[in-house]
């Protein structure tokens, strides 16, 4: 009996407490409403302002995902005078083209980020005659200094292909022959990479495992449009160090090793090993921004026997070694008055030597000099003079000549922009 009374009393008290609280809360709301009613103008202004701020925050609020398109466009005009001399007899050819079809490029790069760990990159490219893909990969930022990437990746060989090939970055109009296109710049595979501090210095590593190239019947290598029909893979890696605390100097060493033989051909055991050294120095000295870049590539392929194109019943062989080098210097007076600070003077020397006694044997020497005008940090007009001499070294037994050389003199006017 006592328990029942207690329960009834407790329940009644609890309900009364809730009722009183509700009444009090309603009275507070009524007071607020009445205060609003008494100052409608001030509160409306505040409410409108809060609403506008909330809208602005919603627009600028960072989400998990973000998609954007950046890219580049390069186009121009080229005039070329070519003098080919074979066994002492010269032939002169003059050509000109809009929009400089050998250097035309439109490449929109798509970047999609999910959070702070995942990045998708895809860059298709139109070069005036065909569509291609420069790279298409996914990167996962595992931890500081450790990125894992997979897909169609740019090989970590040297510095030019990964960082300097874009038209709005290249100080001159053309890519250095033998550097940008041989070995290939992209391949299918996986990669680990990262940059790490080292006291006052920095160092970086970049290692990839990819399908690899394929040896052709003339000793050259092909990278795109091939079917990987062997179990060989290609290992490519680069290590670099920036020894100064202001990052003005970077020294890199690269290596590549892999099987390149088509499993169904006579070259199934062919191997290739390559090395590269790269140098990058950028610093303002006496109010002049000095920019020095260089790269040396050495490519070696195992000696194989190839069918003689002039006599298919015989074979030939040669030391399949290729070297390529470029060194460039550019200067810009960044403190000069007016538009003078927008001009940059650039020069480059290129040497590309392909195997003597091969069908494609030649020595190429090229000197480029140009002047750039920077409209903005990513928009440039270049006027460049290129002098290139190619001396053939194919032996007569393979269809070569006693003497064979081509002298190309070009003027290139090129505009390139990042968008």
Partner 1 sequence: MKAINILLFKRLIKVGFSFFLLSILFNTGCVESRKIASKSGVQLWAENCQRCHNTPSPSSFSASQWETIGMHMQSRALLTENEKNKIIDFLQSSGR
Residue 24's φ and ψ, nearest 5 degrees, are: -65, -40
378 binds partner 1 (CB under 8 A): yes
68 binds partner 1 (CB under 8 A): yes
377 binds partner 1 (CB under 8 A): yes
128 binds partner 1 (CB under 8 A): no
Residue closer to partner 1, measured from CB, 161 or 353: 161
CB of 259 closer than 8 Å to CB of 278: no
Distance CA 293, CA 279 (A): 6
Residue closer to partner 1, measured from CB, 329 or 356: 329
**Nearest-approach distance from CB 350 to partner 1, in angstroms:** 19
Binding span for partner 1 by CB under 8 A among 33-41, 124-132, 196-204, 351-359: 196-204
105 binds partner 1 (CB under 8 A): no
Residue closer to partner 1, measured from CB, 11 or 245: 245
360 binds partner 1 (CB under 8 A): no
200 binds partner 1 (CB under 8 A): yes
Residue 307's φ and ψ, nearest 5 degrees, are: -75, 130
Residue closer to partner 1, measured from CB, 88 or 377: 377
**Nearest-approach distance from CB 374 to partner 1, in angstroms:** 7
Q: Is 303 left (phi over 0), alpha (psi -120 to 50) or beta?
A: beta
Q: Give the footprint of partner 1 on residues 250-309 (CB under 8 A).
A: 250, 280, 282, 289
User: How buried is 322 (Cβ within 10 angstroms: 0-12 exposed, 13-18 middle, 19+ buried)?
Assistant: buried
**Nearest-approach distance from CB 316 to partner 1, in angstroms:** 33
On the CB side of 104, how many CA atoms lie within 13 Å of its CA? Answer: 15
Question: From the list 164, 172, 260, 359, which residue makes contact with partner 1 (rule: CB under 8 A)?
Answer: 164
195 binds partner 1 (CB under 8 A): yes
Binding span for partner 1 by CB under 8 A among 126-134, 197-205, 348-356, 383-391: 197-205
Q: Per-residue x/- mask for partner 1, residues 227 to 256, rule CB under 8 A?
A: -------------x----xxxx-x------
Residue 381's φ and ψ, nearest 5 degrees, are: -115, 125
Residue closer to partner 1, measured from CB, 382 or 410: 382
172 binds partner 1 (CB under 8 A): no
CB atoms within 10 A of CB 73: 19
**Nearest-approach distance from CB 193 to partner 1, in angstroms:** 7
Distance CA 70, CA 107 (A): 9
Query: Which helix or strand (DSSP H or E) is residue 250 part of?
Result: strand 249-259
**Nearest-approach distance from CB 348 to partner 1, in angstroms:** 16
Q: Tokens 């929109």 sit at which residue?
A: 108
Residue closer to partner 1, measured from CB, 34 or 246: 246
66 binds partner 1 (CB under 8 A): yes
User: How buried is 29 (Cβ within 10 angstroms: 0-12 exposed, 13-18 middle, 19+ buried)?
Assistant: exposed
CB of 110 closer than 8 Å to CB of 65: no
131 binds partner 1 (CB under 8 A): no
For the record, the structure tokens of 11 come out as 């329940």
Distance CA 121, CA 186 (A): 13
**Nearest-approach distance from CB 281 to partner 1, in angstroms:** 9
CA 297-303-308 angle, to 5 degrees, is 110
Q: Tokens 């210097």 sit at which residue?
A: 329
Query: Which helix or strand (DSSP H or E) is residue 238 part of?
Result: strand 234-242
Query: Which helix or strand (DSSP H or E) is residue 22 part of?
Result: helix 2-38
With CB under 8 A, what is the number of residues at the site for partner 1? 47
- DSSP readout, 63-116? -SEEEEEEEEEEEEEEEEEEEEEETTEEEEEEEEETT-TTT-EEEEEEEEEETT
Binding span for partner 1 by CB under 8 A among 14-22, 139-147, 212-220, 312-320: 139-147
Q: Which residues of this protein are in contact with partner 1, per CB under 8 A?
A: 60, 62, 66, 68, 70, 111-113, 116, 119, 121, 139, 141, 144-145, 147, 149, 162-164, 166, 168-169, 193-200, 202, 204, 206, 240, 245-248, 250, 280, 282, 289, 374, 376-378
């Amino acid at each position: 009996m006592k328990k029942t009374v207690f329960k009834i009393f407790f329940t009644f008290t609890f309900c009364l407490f809730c009722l009183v609280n509700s009444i009090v809360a309603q009275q507070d709301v009524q007071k607020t409403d009445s205060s609003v009613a008494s100052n409608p103008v001030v509160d409306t202004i505040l409410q409108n302002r809060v609403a506008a701020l909330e809208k602005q925050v919603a627009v600028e609020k960072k989400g998990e995902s973000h998609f954007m398109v950046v890219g580049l466009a390069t186009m121009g005009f080229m005039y070329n005078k070519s003098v080919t001399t074979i066994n002492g007899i010269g032939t002169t050819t003059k050509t000109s083209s809009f929009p400089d079809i050998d250097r035309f490029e439109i490449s929109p790069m798509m970047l999609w980020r999910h959070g702070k760990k995942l990045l998708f990159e895809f860059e298709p490219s139109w070069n005036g005659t065909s569509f291609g893909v420069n790279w298409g990969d996914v990167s996962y930022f595992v931890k500081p200094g450790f990125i894992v990437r997979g897909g169609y990746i740019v090989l970590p060989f040297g510095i030019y292909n990964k960082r300097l090939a874009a038209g709005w970055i290249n100080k001159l109009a053309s890519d250095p022959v033998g550097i940008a296109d041989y070995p290939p710049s992209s391949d299918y595979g996986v990669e680990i990479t990262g940059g790490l501090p080292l006291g006052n210095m920095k160092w970086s590593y970049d290692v990839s495992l990819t399908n690899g190239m394929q040896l052709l019947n003339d000793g050259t290598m092909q990278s795109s449009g091939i079917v990987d029909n062997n179990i060989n893979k290609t290992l490519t890696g680069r290590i670099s160090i920036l020894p100064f605390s202001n990052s003005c100097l970077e020294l890199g060493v690269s290596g590549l090793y892999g099987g390149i033989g088509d499993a169904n051909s006579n070259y199934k055991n062919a191997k290739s090993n390559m090395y590269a050294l790269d140098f990058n120095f950028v610093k303002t000295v006496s109010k002049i921004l000095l920019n020095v870049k260089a790269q040396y590539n050495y490519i070696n392929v195992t000696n194989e026997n190839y069918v003689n194109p002039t006599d298919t019943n015989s074979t030939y062989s040669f030391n399949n070694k290729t070297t390529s080098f470029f060194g460039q210097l550019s200067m810009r007076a960044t403190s000069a008055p007016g538009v003078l600070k927008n001009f940059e003077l650039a020069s480059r020397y290129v040497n590309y030597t392909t195997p003597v006694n091969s069908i494609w044997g030649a020595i190429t020497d090229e000197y480029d000099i140009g002047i750039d005008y920077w409209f903005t940090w990513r928009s440039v007009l270049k006027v460049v003079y290129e002098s290139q001499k190619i001396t053939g070294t194919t032996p007569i037994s393979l269809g070569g000549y006693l003497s064979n050389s081509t002298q190309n003199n070009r003027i290139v006017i090129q505009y390139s922009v990042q968008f």
